[in-house]
Amino acid sequence: MAKDVYVANLNPGVVRNEYHATLIDMFTYDLCTSQRIACYSPRLAGGCLGIFRNLSVGHFLELGETDGFEQLEWYLSLDSDIQLYPALLDDLLSHADSTETPIVAGTYYMSLEGGIYPAIFDMIPGDDGAKHMEPRYKARDSIPENTLIECCSF
């Protein structure tokens, strides 16, 4: 396999031990199996995460044009408040295809009024008669396990 994965992590400067330990497990698993991780880029990020995510993606795209990193194809962004598992990267990439499914993500769960829901959203179109049409999003109540699903946002 080619070293074709760029792993990014935006964090506030303090990373939970549970995340760090599971990140090491994922890197060790990759090193001992498919060896696809080419680069790890942890970045300090405060508020305005969108800006820092864009900078990180820009670095990934620029790096892919430099010597030694021409094979970079996949960008994996990890939040530092989660726990990973060793085969996560292989599991995600088993569903990825540069044409059919260029974006895949693991499921996060969130606590909302009334319960815990997957952080997967469907768009509810705005009212046609509204002066300012904004899409609205509704979290899904549930999702099937271990299944690739299409969604509007995650």
Q: Hey, CA dihedral for 32, 44, 5, 71, is it positive or negative? A: negative
pLDDT single digits (tens) 77-92: 998 888 899 999 999 9
Q: What is the rounded distance in angstroms from the CA atom of residue 35 to the CA atom of residue 41?
A: 17
pLDDT computed for residue 88 by the predictor: 94
Using one digit for the tens of pLDDT, what is the confidence trace for 20-67? 999 999 999 999 999 999 999 998 887 778 888 899 999 999 998 888
pTM: 0.81
**pLDDT for position 91:** 93
Average pLDDT of the chain, as a whole number: 85
pLDDT at 73: 93
Q: Encoding tokens for residue 146?
A: 């271990």
